[in-house]
Amino acid sequence: MSALTRVTAEIRSELGDERVITDRQRLRTYECDGLAQYKVVPGLVVLAHDVDDVVTAVRACARHRVPFVARGSGTGLSGGALPHADGVLIVMSQMRAIRQLDTANHRAVVEPGVINLQLTGATSEDGYYFAPDPSSQTVCSIGGNVAENSGGAHCLKYGFTTNHVTGVDLVTPGGELVELGGKAPDPPGYDLLGALVGSEGTLGIVTSVTVRLTRLPQEVRTILAGFRTVDEAGAATSAIISAGVVPAAIEMMDALAIEAAEEAVHCGYPDGAGAVLVVELDGHAADVADEFDAVVRHCEAAGAFEVRVAADDAERALIWKGRKSAFAAVGRISPDYIVQDGVIPRTALSQVLQQIAELSEQRGVRVANVFHAGDGNLHPLVLFDDAEEGAAERAEDVAGGILELCIAGGGSITGEHGVGSDKAKYMPAMFSQDDLDTMQAVRCALDPDSVFNPGKVFPTPRLCGERPGRRQGAHPLTEAGVAEVV
């Protein structure tokens, strides 16, 4: 009898048939997450309804050293929830109760399957919201946000998930239940929450999350500015930031992305724009008024030929619709596309965009650019037609080349989508073996048998028994003359 068979029998006997899936056809539903190019049918799916289900499943896996993976809504874009063929997929989406809305303390306690936007929906009447707003917020789960340290358009001002989680109930890879943090800030001891949030489901499964609720701003103003070129839009972004204004969001789209969005949702962006900026200001009315004047001035000085302000919520929604639908909209102008996620220092924006354009032209692969300009987070959309011989490989090549440009520019291989299965191979370009071994040492502390979400984040698994060997030579980034390593 295989280890998985034993695990299946044990879990089934405790949870009953309804909470486990063994039928091959139904298992297929879970073969991939939001990054559909990787597919693995899981050996077993457990639909967790409560913390006991999670503990039972995890302990069974730990006992038999069977790999397991946690999954929320399955919207991740890096294959972080890609199942293991001989392992168990623990699906958390049934745990979707908002346990407590404690607006007096600016906190909510939620189960991990609660949908991001539902929490905001539940608190906005009281004047609060959950600040992290990934584009998938209508469907992604808060447990998934914790795993990925999700950001969103508004994290420029308000921070990422890691800045908004103050406590969790954690089931460790060994099946222990540990309560970390709570409603009060700064729990004593090592900042385990800091290490956990963004660990992509490799350090434990959260069964309850305490998050900060943010006060709704008194005023929100959304500005749409059309420019002839991305360079002009980039210059406007730099000028706004340099002037000391920290908008809630600054988003940029280039001509190809605009074209796609227009075709899909008719968002009415300025005609003939080579780039648009969406700038959102929020806060106290007096600050917003001052900042608004500054933003308009800087946009016009940088060459904006049209600056439009959303007059009401409907107009604001339309401006954002163009931006938020950009990924899907690209499907209108290209049969297939890769969504890339890379980060560069904001000051390198112009240079890196130029390099991406050159790369695109050299390889004959179209690239549409959508990005969070305020924090240098690029989402180039690499377009291709899979029916065409070798096109997918060329696109993959260009997408990889873009990451190399990000690293060379002093940035990162991922700003919000995570490393997952997809980018583990790029980790050695950003981190030395010692860096990665040290991260893995932390992983080994919590998961000595390497059973939790194996194969993700790190390019090579490390046996936790071994001590990292000393290595000679320079850090890969230093060697490449890129930068001093931080």
Partner 1 sequence: MGPIHADGAPPATAPDLAVLARSLEGAGEVREAETSDTVDGVPAAAVARPTSIPAMSALLRTATAHGLVTVPRGGGTALNWGAPPERVDLILDTTGVNRLVDHEAGDLVAVAEAGLPLHELQERVAGTNQELLTDPPPERVAAGSTIGGLLATAPSGPRRLERLAVRDLVLGATLVLADGTVAASGGKVVKNVAGYDLAKLVTGSLGTLGIVARAAFRLHPVRPARAVVIRRGRLEDLTRLARETVAAQFVPAAVEIDRPAGRDDATLAVLLEGTEEAVAARAAEAAALIGGERVEDLPSWWARMPGADMLAKATATLTGVADLVRTARAAEQRHGAAIAVRGSAAGVLHLGITAPDGPSAAAAVETLRSAAPTPRDGTVTVVAAPREFRDTLDVWGPVAGLGLMRRIKERLDPGRNLSPGRFVGGI
Task: Single out the residue of 292, 320, 431, 452 in contact with partner 1 (rule: CB under 8 A).
Answer: 431
Residue type, 231: D
150 vs 160: CA distance, rounded Å: 6
| Cβ proximity to partner 1, 84 vs 157, nearer residue | 157
Least distance from partner 1 to the Cβ atom of residue 446, Å: 6
Report if residue 95 touches partner 1, rule: CB under 8 A. no
Distance from C-alpha of 394 to C-alpha of 388, rounded to nearest angstrom: 11
Interface residue with partner 1 among 443, 450, 453, 455 (CB under 8 A) is: 443
Radius of gyration of the chain (CA): 23
Q: How far apart are CA 21 and CA 94, in angstroms?
A: 14
Total of residues contacting partner 1 (CB under 8 A)? 102
CB of 275 to partner 1, least distance (A): 18
Return the beta strands (E) in 66-131 as ranges. Answer: 68-71, 88-91, 98-102, 107-110, 128-129
Q: Is residue 176 close enough to count as binding partner 1 by CB under 8 A?
A: yes
Q: Within the chain, what is the greatest distance between any pair of CA atoms?
A: 72
**Binding residue for partner 1, selected from 33, 254, 280, 437, defined by CB under 8 A:** 437
Q: How far is CA 343 from the centre of its chain?
A: 12
Least CB distance from residue 384 to partner 1, whole Å?
25
Which CB, 258 or 430, lies closer to partner 1? 430
- Which residues make beta-bridge pairs with 308? 224
Question: Please, where are the H alpha helices in 89-223?
Answer: 116-123, 142-148, 155-158, 192-196
Sketch the per residue contact string, 385 through 424, with partner 1: x for CB under 8 A, - otherwise. -------------------------xxxxxxxxxx---x-
Distances from the Cα of 391 to the Cα of 120, 217, 337, 381, angstroms: 41, 47, 10, 14
Contacts of 221 (CB under 8 A, 6+ apart): 280, 281, 282, 288, 292, 309, 310
Rounded to 10°, the helix 313-324/255-265 angle is 120
> Looking only at residues 340 through 379 of this chain, which bind partner 1 when binding is defined by CB under 8 A?
343-347, 372, 375-377
Min. distance of Cβ 310 from partner 1 in angstroms?
Answer: 20
User: Do residues 94 and 113 touch, judged by C-beta distance below 8 A?
Assistant: yes
When the beta carbons of 9 and 243 are compared against partner 1, the nearer one is: 243
Residues 6+ apart with CB under 8 A from 114: 96, 97, 98, 141, 142
44 versus 170: smaller Cβ distance to partner 1:
170
User: What residues form DSSP beta bridges with 250?
Assistant: 279
What is the end-to-end Cα distance of the chain in Å, rounded? Answer: 49
Which lies closer to partner 1 via its Cβ, residue 44 or residue 326?
326
- Whole-Å CA distances, 289 to 20, 216, 222: 56, 17, 12
Handedness of CA 124, 163, 149, 412 (dihedral sign): positive
- 94 C-beta neighbours (distance < 10 Å), count: 15
Which of 178/463 has CB closer to partner 1?
178
Q: Which of residues 74-93 bind partner 1 (CB under 8 A)?
A: none
Residue corresponding to tokens 């780039």: 275
**C-beta of 187: minimal distance to partner 1 in Å?**
6
Which residues inside 103-132 make contact with partner 1, applying CB under 8 A? 104-107
Q: Which stretch binds partner 1 (CB under 8 A): 56-64, 319-327, 354-362, 431-439?
A: 431-439
Minimum separation from the CB atom of position 100 to partner 1 (A): 12
Across-strand partners of 476? Answer: none
Instruction: Please choose, out of 36-44, 260-268, 316-324, 428-436, the segment that lies near partner 1 by the rule CB under 8 A.
Output: 428-436
- Helix, coil or strand: residue 343: strand
Stretch that binds partner 1, among 6-14, 132-140, 260-268, 437-445 (CB under 8 A): 437-445
CB of 410 closer than 8 Å to CB of 345: yes
Q: Within 275-314, which residues bind partner 1 (CB under 8 A)? A: 283-284, 286-287, 289-291
Nearest distance, CB of residue 475 and partner 1, angstroms: 7
Contact flags string 178-197 toward partner 1, x per CB under 8 A: xxxxxxxxxxxxxxxxxx-x
**Residue 281 bridge partners (DSSP):** 221
- Which of 8-16, 20-28, 235-243, 267-275 is the region at the interface with partner 1 (rule: CB under 8 A)? 235-243
Q: What's the closest the beta carbon of residue 423 comes to partner 1, in angstroms?
A: 8
Contact between 479 and partner 1 (CB under 8 A)?
no
What is the x/- site pattern for partner 1, positions 240-269, by CB under 8 A? Answer: -xxxxxx-----------------------
User: Which of 182-214 are b and which e, b meaning 16 or more Cβ less than 10 Å from the residue's Cβ?
Assistant: ebeeeeeeeebbebbbbbbbbbbbbbbbbbbbb
CB of 253: closest distance to partner 1 in angstroms?
18
Closest contact distance (angstroms) between CB of 251 and partner 1 is: 13
Binding mask 139-158 for partner 1 (x = CB under 8 A): ---------xx-x---xx--
Structure-block tokens of residue 26: 């139904």
Residue 430, interface with partner 1 (CB under 8 A)? yes
Residue 268 or 345 having the CB closest to partner 1: 345
Query: Please, which residue, 196 or 261, has the CB nearer to partner 1?
Result: 196
Give the footprint of partner 1 on residues 207-226 (CB under 8 A). Answer: 210, 215-218
